[in-house]
Structure 1
Amino acid sequence: MTTTTTYIAFLRAINVGGRTVKMERLRALFAELGLGNVRSYIQSGNVFFTTDEPDRAALTRRIERHLEEALGYPVPVLLRTVDEVAELLAAEPFRGVEVTSDVRLVVAFLSEPLPADLAIPYTSPKGDHEVIGADDGAAYVVIHLKNGKWVTGELFGKGYGGSVTSRFLHTTEKILAAARKP
């Protein structure tokens, strides 16, 4: 029996740094791979699709290779099932964190777990962010804006060699809601 899975592809390096990709083109690239029900949400590289391909790692490599060939630069792809994202949000990883005008809540999707020697909670040397929790697939980061801006940098220090793409918590909630729509 074949099982069809609905994935959310969280893409890194889409529509940042002068690398502009229209969502219509991005959806077409996913459809070229034979993936079903391809849809996208906002311009930051969130694609939903269905597949019966059982090997997530092989699927990820296939998508990354196709995107790089078509776009001319690497695009890290972090695949999560709709159920996995729902479970992540249901766990309320930011419970008890007070949101203010200078605080943002961010889900950092990870290609591999954080280094075992990264003590969590972890506060960056400049105090601009705190990693308050993590599991194998995501880290939960509280951003402290400086002069109203998020100073992007290495979230986990130099010891993390995997790919990371981040979404604000409220955006992640909207992505999940959109992915659940037929």
Structure 2
Amino acid sequence: MTHAVALLRAINITGRFVKKDVLRQLFVELGLTGISTFIASGNVLFDEENGDPAALEARIETHLRASLGYEVATFVRSAAELAAVAAHTPFALDEMASAFGLMVAFLKAPPDEAGRERLLAYRRASDDIAVHGREVYWLRRVQQSETEFGGAKLERALGVPATVRSITTVRKLAILAAGKK
């Protein structure tokens, strides 16, 4: 049994509000155990058998669609994978420390070369982008209101769904997943 995190796209935004206790119950209904949530943006920690993550993502998505009435793209990472994402340094440390934000976008699979090229074309003085495996790191050198880049452009460039979290949230989730009993 391993600890894992499901990162859900578009939960608790624009009319798609799901209380944390309801979200936990939906995961109980899937037969998962050790369930907890972290902040209200669709982060669910749980225990899982060492199975196929893609099959688990599909199972969760199917159940959430049936229960909530809309699509909820789901990205599952093991505690070890999340720790590696949190520890990765895609940019110079001094640059990350002085930035307005470092965001991580989670994908189902590494982007293909064409998607990667479209995505990296968004690099600007205000925004830097690095791809590492199934994650995209976005360094914001300006306030969010001052950038033209964001999650919607990231998804359009790659042609696949993604969900974005701040590096602070990713690091906290990694700590929680590592310490989960």
Tell me if TM exceeds 0.5.
Answer: yes
Residue aligning to 1:45: 42
Pairwise CA RMSD? 2.5
Q: Kindly indicate whether residue 32 of structure 2 is the aligned counterpart of residue 35 of structure 1.
A: yes
Partner SS, residue 113 of structure 2: coil
What pairs with 1:59-70 in structure 2 (closer than 5 Å)? Answer: 59-70=56-67
Partner SS, residue 162 of structure 1: coil
Among 77, 81, 85, the residue aligned to 1:80? 77
Among 125, 143, 161, the residue aligned to 1:163? 161
Distance 2:146 2:12 in 1: 19
Q: Would you say the 8 A contact 2:119–2:157 is kept in 1?
A: no
How many aligned residue pairs are there?
177
Distance 2:47 2:64 in 1: 18
Label 1:7 to 1:55 Cα distance change in 2 as closer, same or farther (>3 A): same
The share of aligned pairs that are identical, in percent, is: 33
| C-alpha distance after superposition, 1:50-103 (max 9, x if no partner) | 121511111111100000111111000000000011112223234332444x62
Q: Would you say the 8 A contact 2:104–2:136 is kept in 1?
A: yes
TM-score, structure 2 length as denominator?
Answer: 0.85
Residue aligning to 1:105: 102
What pairs with 1:123-162 in structure 2 (closer than 5 Å)? Answer: 123-124=121-122, 128-131=126-129, 133-146=130-143, 148=145, 152-156=150-154, 158-162=156-160
Q: Kindly indicate whether residue 15 of structure 2 is the aligned counterpart of residue 10 of structure 1.
A: no
Distance 2:119 2:17 in 1: 35
More deviation, 102-111/122-131: 122-131
User: Residue type matched to 2:162 in 1?
Assistant: V
Q: Would you say the 8 A contact 1:123–1:129 is kept in 2?
A: no
Among 143, 149, 172, the residue aligned to 2:170? 172
Deviation of residue 161 (structure 1)? 2.0
Deviation of residue 144 (structure 1)? 3.9
Among 59, 79, 92, the residue aligned to 1:95? 92
Structure 1: gaps (5+ residues): none
TM-score, structure 1 length as denominator?
Answer: 0.85
| C-alpha distance after superposition, 1:144-176 (max 9, x if no partner) | 445756653534373412220011111111111
Label 1:145 to 1:73 Cα distance change in 2 as closer, same or farther (>3 A): farther
The higher relative CO (CA closer than 8 Å, separation ≥ 6) is in 2
Distance 2:169 2:85 in 1: 13
Distance 1:119 1:139 in 2: 13
Distance 2:18 2:144 in 1: 30
Structure richer in helix, relative to its length: 2
Label 1:155 to 1:17 Cα distance change in 2 as closer, same or farther (>3 A): same
